[in-house]
Amino acid sequence: MTVALVSEWVRAQGVDFDERLPQIFGGLGIPLPTIIDHCGVLPIQRFGGDLFEIHDDGEPALVVAVSEHEHLVDLLALMGRKDWLLRAGGGVLLGYDEAIAHAFGLPLRIWRSPLSWLQSGGQGCCVIGSWEVARQHLPLGRTFVAEDVAHARVLDRRLSYRPSVVVERNANLAA
C-alpha cells in the first residue's frame, strides 16, 4: 500500500492550480506556505465510511500526507471545516514526527482538527485515528496544550493514563 500512497501523494502535489482551487482553499485560513509544504489536491469520493478513494469524477479535496518517522503511512482528505477522510485508515497523528521529536522539553500543542493544525502552519499535532493508539505514541509525563477549556477536558479524558482495573467475578472480596 505504501507504493500506492506515494504515487497518489505525488499525483496530489502535481495538480495544476485551476479555478476550482479557491473553492477548496478560500476562507479556510490556511497560510500559503503551509499549503505549499503540506497539501495537495485530488478528486475523491467517500468510500467505506471514513475512507476515501481517488475518483476522476469526484470532488476536489485538500489532501495532506500523514507521516510517521518520515515515512508516508496515509493520506488525509479535508472535507470542509470539520470532516476528514483517510485513504488507508492507518494514520494516527498529523505532526507525528514533531510530537515524537519533542518528547522531552516544551509542551506539545494538540489541535482539535486537521484544519486547526493546518491553520497553525502544521505546528504541534492532531489526533486523526484511534485515541488508544495515539496514547501509545504520545510520551508519558508530557504537558499538552489545548485550544480552549472544552478541548482541554476532552484531551484530559482521552489522554489519561489511568490503568483499567477489574475484579474477577469469583474473587474473594473480603479483606
Per residue of the chain (175 residues), give pLDDT as tens: 455 777 776 777 776 555 555 556 667 888 877 777 788 888 899 988 889 999 889 988 889 999 988 888 999 998 777 789 999 998 999 999 888 776 566 788 899 999 999 999 999 999 999 998 888 888 766 788 899 999 988 988 888 765 555 566 665 555 4
Is the CB of residue 53 less than 8 Å from the CB of residue 45? Answer: yes
Query: Which residues span the domain enclosing 47?
Result: 2-158
Look at residue 1 in the predicted model and tell me its pLDDT. Answer: 47
Count the neighbouring beta carbons within 10 Å of the beta carbon of residue 135: 15
Q: Would residue 11 count as lying in a domain? A: yes
Cα–Cα dist 61/138, whole Å: 29
Which residues contact residue 85 at a Cβ distance below 8 angstroms, ignoring those fewer than 6 apart? Answer: 44, 46, 50, 51, 52, 61, 76, 77, 79
Q: Would residue 173 count as lying in a domain? A: no
With H, G, I as helix, E, B as strand and everything else as coil, classify residue 111.
strand
Cα–Cα dist 167/172, whole Å: 9
Partners of 109 in the beta sheet? 145
Q: Would residue 166 count as lying in a domain? A: no
Q: Would residue 150 count as lying in a domain? A: yes
Which residues contact residue 103 at a Cβ distance below 8 angstroms, ignoring those fewer than 6 apart? Answer: 139, 142
Q: Would residue 63 count as lying in a domain? A: yes
Is the CB of residue 98 less than 8 Å from the CB of residue 111? Answer: no
| Nearest in space to 154 (alpha carbons), one of 122, 175, 126 | 126
Q: Would residue 60 count as lying in a domain? A: yes
Count of the separate structural domains present in the chain:
1
Q: Would residue 53 count as lying in a domain? A: yes
With H, G, I as helix, E, B as strand and everything else as coil, classify residue 134.
helix
Whether this model's pTM surpasses 0.85: no
C-beta contacts of 151-156 below 8 A and 24+ residues apart: 151/112, 154/112, 155/110
Q: Would residue 165 count as lying in a domain? A: no
Is the CB of residue 55 less than 8 Å from the CB of residue 30? Answer: no
